[in-house]
Structure 1
Amino acid sequence: MINLTDSALNAVRNAITAAPNPVDGLRIMVEAGGCAGLKYNLGLVSEVDPDDTVIERDGVRVFIDNKSHEMLAGTTIDFVIALEGSGFTFDNPNAKTSCGCGKSFG
């Protein structure tokens, strides 16, 4: 299971509301790349993929493709506002290594 904090839920909800086109939810994927070997990829999407796992909390739908689901199991996603910049952070218990930016893991 993936957990989104209240701050992350609010950030996603605000992004969906501000989107110029209809949005069905947030897709979270893990892809090759980044400084530690794997990177998180998030984006708003207009429809669910038939192979996606769908998580819904407080009206916000999150879609995770099957390849990424295992690598994200148990992850808590937060949205932080800081002087250095704002963005999503990931507390992923499956990550053996991570980079300083927090967007990449191995």
Structure 2
Amino acid sequence: MINLTNSALNAVQTAISGSPDPVDGLRIKVEAGGCAGYQYRMGLVREGEPDDTVIEREGVKLYIDNSSHELLAGTTIDYVVAVQGSGFTFDNPNAQSSCSCGKSFG
């Protein structure tokens, strides 16, 4: 299960409602790359893929592909507003290491 904090949920709802194109939800995936081995990718999508895991919270659908699901299990996603910049953060219990920016893990 992937968890969204209320702050992250509000940020996603705002992005969906502000999109000029029809949006069904948010895709979250893990790809090889970044300075620690894997990197997080997120983006609004019109529809999910047939083999996606779909998690819904308060009307927001999260689409996670099968290869990313295991790497994201138990992750909490937050949206933080800070002086250094605002953005999503990931608290991933599967990460054995992470880079200082928090956007990649190993």
Fold in common (TM above 0.5): yes
Other structure's SS at 1:12 match = helix
Give the match for residue 74 of structure 2: 74
Identity %: 74
Q: Deviations over 1:6-41 (max 9, x none)?
A: 000000000000101000000000001100010000
Q: How many residues align?
A: 106
Distance in 2 of aligned mates of 1:48 and 1:70: 18
Q: How does 1:53-92 map to 2 (within 5 A)?
A: 53-92=53-92
Other structure's SS at 2:8 match = helix
| Structure 1 unaligned spans of 5+ | none
| Offset, 1:74 | 0.3
| Offset, 1:64 | 0.2
Normalising by the residue count of structure 1, what TM-score does the alignment of the two structures yield?
0.99
Is 2:13 the counterpart of 1:13? Answer: yes
Normalising by the residue count of structure 2, what TM-score does the alignment of the two structures yield?
0.99
| Structure 2 unaligned spans of 5+ | none
Distance in 1 of aligned mates of 2:29 and 2:2: 12
Displaced runs of 4 or more, over 2 A: none
